[in-house]
């Protein structure tokens, strides 16, 4: 995920206080009407939706007397055929499938905390035999997942991608019904189509003992899109401006509905279709919850202790705007965002333990005014982050006012720091 100046320096407590001043009439069920009714927040985007390409899914959650949830979803401009670059959002299913693979292997001594050493099989690959952010100084699936969820670390994602393997990753998602998902390349590092088919050898060790060894893998499948996906008018390649659209057929895809449904399946594993569930233990789920909702500064990782660089809202775009220095203790945001090429996306399960509020919210936006890719000139701070922040706040305001027959028991989702 790219790092950039964040739009707001207000704490989320302050933003919620200001949000309380919004005068909203009873909501009629239309997200479009909600956005149009608050021009001070949303007029920039709503005046040119073709340019900004917003897509939104909002899911209300109601519990019965046994705490069993039912879901009611609303959407705005949701279109799985309208491509957006998913950026770091693909890290979430990859992390989950890494845990699922460990469970499938079911080898004595092989856990998410077992040391994982990554080797090389080609001159385009790089090894990973140490990790200074880990408590042991050695890499592991667990610490890679923590880094992916707490600060959206790209190298950590690449190592998880290499462990799962390109073909297994995509076949698993397709089998579970996430059919508008294609995750077939590493992030940040430059690798061609063939190099991304090839994943590194890995060995899991306990001291001097080998627990499990996996050789280099080569995927024989082709995950390129069936047709060109041409966007924009120009692209910077190796410092040269090419005056032609960029073809995203060779890039990852993760439709907003699939992203929303993955988060829903993780938070409510017993309440979605069996096909969409992940094979995880209760301990796996709690590990994911702690890190999806955790803050870098509370992780115990020294590299993330600088609160100015890593505020609590650092990877919380919805409600916190990616910058809120603090988030109230009664609110937790379980999410995975991403931003690149001018696209900004976030999907979150948001809870307010004090007020008994819970909801799912997913949104994506395109902010690339000059229609040029790879020039690092995007309107994230000016447009995307304020939009996602205010969208989260607007939905939160609705939820505070929404009557519920039964208050939710959210104790399963209350936990200590990562």
The reported pLDDT for the residue numbered 13 is 72
The reported pLDDT for the residue numbered 26 is 82
Question: 304-358: per-residue pLDDT in tens?
Answer: 999 999 999 999 999 999 999 999 999 999 999 999 999 999 999 999 999 999 9
Question: 38-65: per-residue pLDDT in tens?
Answer: 999 999 999 999 999 999 999 999 999 9
The reported pLDDT for the residue numbered 190 is 83
Q: What angle in degrees, to the nearest 10, is found between the helix axes of 91-105 and 282-292?
A: 160
User: CB-based contacts of 34: which residues, under 8 Å, 6+ apart?
Assistant: 24, 27, 394, 398
Residue 153, pLDDT > 60, answer yes
Residue 1, pLDDT > 90, answer no
pTM score: 0.95
Question: 102-116: per-residue pLDDT in tens?
Answer: 999 999 999 999 999
Residue 3, pLDDT > 90, answer no
Q: pLDDT grade, residue 260 (50/70/90)?
A: very high
Distance between CA atoms of residues 2 and 111, nearest Å:
31
Ramachandran category for residue 177: left, alpha or beta (phi over 0 → left; psi -120 to 50 → alpha)? left
* Tokens 């829903």 found at: 264
Parallel/antiparallel/unpaired status of strands 234-237 and 372-373 = parallel
**Average pLDDT over all residues of the chain:** 94
Residue 303, pLDDT > 60, answer yes
Q: pLDDT grade, residue 417 (50/70/90)?
A: low
Distance between CA atoms of residues 128 and 163, nearest Å:
12
* Cα 223 → chain centroid: 21
Q: Residues of 332-371 as b/e, b for ≥16 C-beta within 10 angstroms?
A: bbbbbbbbbbbbbbbbbbbbbbeebbbbbbbbbbbbbeee
Q: 407: which 2 tokens? A: 């208050």
Burial class (CB in 10 A: 0-12, 13-18, 19+), 279: middle
Residue 386, pLDDT > 60, answer yes
The reported pLDDT for the residue numbered 415 is 77
Residue 201, pLDDT > 80, answer yes
């Amino acid at each position: 995920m790219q790092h950039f100046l964040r739009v707001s320096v207000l704490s989320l407590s302050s933003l919620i206080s200001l949000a309380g001043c919004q005068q909203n009439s009873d909501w009629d069920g239309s997200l479009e009407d909600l956005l149009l009714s608050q021009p001070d927040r949303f007029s920039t985007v709503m005046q040119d939706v073709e340019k900004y390409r917003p897509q939104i899914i909002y899911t209300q959650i109601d519990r019965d007397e046994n705490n069993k949830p039912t879901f009611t979803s609303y959407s705005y401009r949701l279109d799985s055929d309208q491509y957006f670059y998913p950026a770091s959002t693909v890290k979430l299913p990859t992390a989950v499938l890494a845990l699922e693979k460990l469970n499938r292997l079911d080898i004595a001594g092989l856990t998410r905390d077992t040391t994982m050493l990554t080797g090389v099989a080609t001159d385009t690959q790089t090894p990973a035999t140490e990790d200074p952010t880990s408590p042991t100084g050695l890499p592991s699936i667990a610490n890679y997942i923590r880094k992916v969820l707490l600060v959206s670390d790209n190298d950590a994602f690449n190592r998880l991608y290499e462990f799962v393997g390109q073909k297994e990753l995509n076949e698993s998602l397709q089998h579970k019904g996430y059919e508008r998902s294609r995750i077939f390349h590493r992030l940040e590092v430059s690798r061609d189509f063939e190099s991304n088919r090839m994943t590194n050898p890995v060995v899991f060790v306990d001291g001097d003992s080998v627990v499990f060894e996996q050789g280099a893998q080569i995927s024989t499948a082709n995950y390129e899109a069936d047709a060109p996906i041409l966007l924009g008018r120009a692209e910077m390649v190796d410092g040269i401006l090419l005056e032609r659209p960029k073809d995203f057929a060779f890039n990852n895809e993760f439709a907003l509905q699939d992203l929303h449904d993955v988060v829903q399946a993780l938070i409510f594993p017993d309440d979605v279709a069996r096909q969409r569930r992940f094979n995880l233990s209760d301990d796996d789920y709690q590990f994911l919850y702690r890190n999806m909702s955790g803050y870098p500064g509370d992780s115990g990782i020294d590299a993330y202790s600088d609160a100015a660089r890593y505020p609590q809202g650092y990877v919380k775009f919805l409600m916190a705007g990616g910058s809120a220095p603090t988030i109230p203790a009664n609110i937790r945001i379980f999410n995975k965002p991403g931003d690149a090429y001018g696209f900004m996306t976030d999907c979150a399960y948001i809870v307010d333990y004090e007020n008994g509020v819970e909801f799912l919210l997913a949104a994506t936006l395109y902010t690339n005014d000059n229609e040029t890719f790879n020039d690092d000139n995007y309107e994230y701070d000016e447009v995307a982050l304020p939009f996602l922040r205010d969208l989260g706040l607007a939905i939160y305001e609705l939820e505070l006012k929404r009557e519920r027959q039964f208050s939710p028991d959210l104790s399963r989702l209350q936990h200590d720091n990562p």
